Amino acid sequence: MESGNLLFSRETLAEDTSAREKMAAEAIIRATASMGGGIASVGTRDLAAGITFLHQQTPAQLTWLSLNLVDPMSRRPLFPPVLFRQAGPLKVAILALTNHVPLVKHTENVLALPWQDVLPAALAEIGPRADFIILLSNYPLEENRKMARTHGAINLILQSGQVMGNLPPMVVNNALIAQTGPRGQYLGVLDLHWNGSGPWTRELTGVQRLNSESVSTYNNQFIALRTSLRPDPEVEALVRKTQERIAQAQTEDCR
């Protein structure tokens, strides 16, 4: 799962580099889908090339989510607001929020509603149908902390806000909040032992674990993605082709 801001490094594209940045974004989308990344939250920077670009370039294997991006006229969601997945005996609800603040002056046909306007009703509807709720949030850390303090139904918040780098899990109310470094530099691995209720605590071992059946535990690690790792042939070919396209575009721009 991706929490947002996957495609571009800023909210708007410069005219002289937009074609090359779109090529790179297309490759990121295809590579993410190829590697099994099936769910992504729409971050503000993912909209830099527009909603139409996002819809046209996304294969069926990848689903973008956003609870609060709506059509300005109809107020209907522009992306699926929630997905349900089965994880063993648990029914998991995955929903996503796009930071509305940078999009206040967005010129495209999109309206980003504040999270306070949409999250309470969504959780009220989802809560009875889900055993575990994951929120993918593009909001800054402090806003995510407010969501967790206000809404105890949220179990896990994976964010892509303003904190740079990796953010180890922190417990806020009933939720864990965590973040992996931006734009694919790290792989975040979060192991959860969920007992259905109770406070989160870092993973226990030995006798401690045997005596703590009522406790939900977690453990995490961040894996740096280095060039020495064995490449995926399909992704490697995609990267090579994209680099060739960008180089050709740069050559044409210099003529």
Is 138 inside a domain boundary?
yes
Is 169 inside a domain boundary?
yes
Is 102 inside a domain boundary?
yes
b/e code 103-138 from CB counts within 10 Å (16+ = b): beebeeebbbbebeebbeebbeebeeebebbbbbbb
Tens of pLDDT along the chain (255 residues) come to: 788 888 888 888 888 778 888 888 888 888 877 777 789 999 888 998 888 898 898 888 899 999 999 998 899 999 999 999 998 889 999 999 999 988 876 556 789 999 999 999 999 999 999 999 999 999 999 999 999 999 999 999 998 755 566 777 889 999 999 887 555 555 667 788 888 776 788 876 544 454 555 678 888 765 555 544 455 566 566 556 666 565 665 555 555
Domain holding 79: CATH number? 3.60.21.10
Rounded-to-integer distance, Cα 224 and Cα 221, Å: 10
The contacts of residue 54 (CB under 8 Å, 6+ apart) are: 42, 46, 47, 64
Is 109 inside a domain boundary?
yes
Task: Give just the sign of the alpha carbon dihedral 148, 154, 157, 161.
Answer: negative
Is 170 inside a domain boundary?
yes
- Number of domains present in the structure of the chain: 1
Is 195 inside a domain boundary?
no
Please tell me the number of Cα atoms within 13 Å of 234 on its side-chain side: 8
With H, G, I as helix, E, B as strand and everything else as coil, classify residue 121. helix
Domain that holds residue 173: 18-186
